[in-house]
Structure 1
Amino acid sequence: MKISVNNKEVETAAVSISALVEELSLPLQGIAVAVENRLVPRTAWDGYALAEGMNIVIIKAACGG
């Protein structure tokens, strides 16, 4: 299915946020995920079903000042 991740179209076989994070080789800590501009708690990633055309934003924490 095709979804938008950080404004880029991505073809994925992932069916949940946790599967998408794993597919994209992202770290499990230090990131936040929003679907359709709503933050999804990490505890809900396994059960949050992805669908064609969803808009997902992944934010990585950064250190610095």
Structure 2
Amino acid sequence: MITIYVNDSPLEIRKNTNVLELLKELKFPIQGVAVAIDNTVIPTATWETHLLDTNNKVLIIQAAQGG
């Protein structure tokens, strides 16, 4: 297990977890979400291959509709 920080909260996850697996585990929708790791935006096309590492700071932003 490793510790990462998701939106400033610590979270223990399995080693070799990728971004897509994290989003599914946290029950975030896949559409309408942006992910940054250590202040770098991660393109959607690489979510399945981008592995998380100890102490990564993950920011997940979900688009909101309204007006």
TM-score tier, shorter chain, comes to over 0.9
SS of residue in 1 equivalent to 2:20: helix
Residue type of the partner of 1:12?
Answer: I
1:58, distance to aligned residue in structure 2 (A): 0.1
Moved over 2 A (4+): none
Task: Among all aligned residue pairs of Structure 1 and Structure 2, give the percentage whose two residues are the same amino acid.
Answer: 35
Count of equivalent residues: 65
Alpha carbon RMSD of aligned pairs, Å? 1.0
What is the TM-score normalised by the length of structure 2? 0.90
SS of residue in 1 equivalent to 2:5: strand
Give distance in 1, aligned partners of 2:51 and 2:30.
Answer: 18
Where does residue 18 of structure 1 map in the other structure? 20
What is the TM-score normalised by the length of structure 1? 0.93
**Unmatched tracts of structure 2, length 5 or more:** none
**Unmatched tracts of structure 1, length 5 or more:** none
Residue type of the partner of 1:4?
Answer: Y
1:38, distance to aligned residue in structure 2 (A): 0.7
